[in-house]
Amino acid sequence: MEQEKEEKRINRERNRTENDRNQQNGNSGRRKSPQNTMRINVDDFDEIKRKMRLINFYLYYRNSGRTPKILLQ
């Protein structure tokens, strides 16, 4: 009985340190469910390209520290 309790305690500690390490590395223990992923209609490639350009535009200017010309007009 005592040995079993000790094993459970050791396992708990091991899991806790593993979880801490995973959080520091940015790894989530759980995978995102399909409901959280974006569904794209594959028929509309032009729309996808347009959205990707907008996303890349936003990310570039967000990380560059500059104001895009479009926002200055």
Question: Mean pLDDT in runs of 10 for the chain (73 residues)?
Answer: 87 76 57 59 77 84 71 53
Residue 73: per-residue pLDDT:
46
3-state SS class at 6: helix
Distances from the Cα of 20 to the Cα of 6, 12, 13, 28, angstroms: 21, 12, 11, 10
Residue 44: per-residue pLDDT:
74
Residue 55: per-residue pLDDT:
85
Residue 70: per-residue pLDDT:
63
Residue 30: per-residue pLDDT:
57
Give the span between the Cα atoms of 52 and 59, in whole angstroms: 10
* Neighbouring residues of 29: CB distance < 8 A, sequence distance ≥ 6: 19, 22
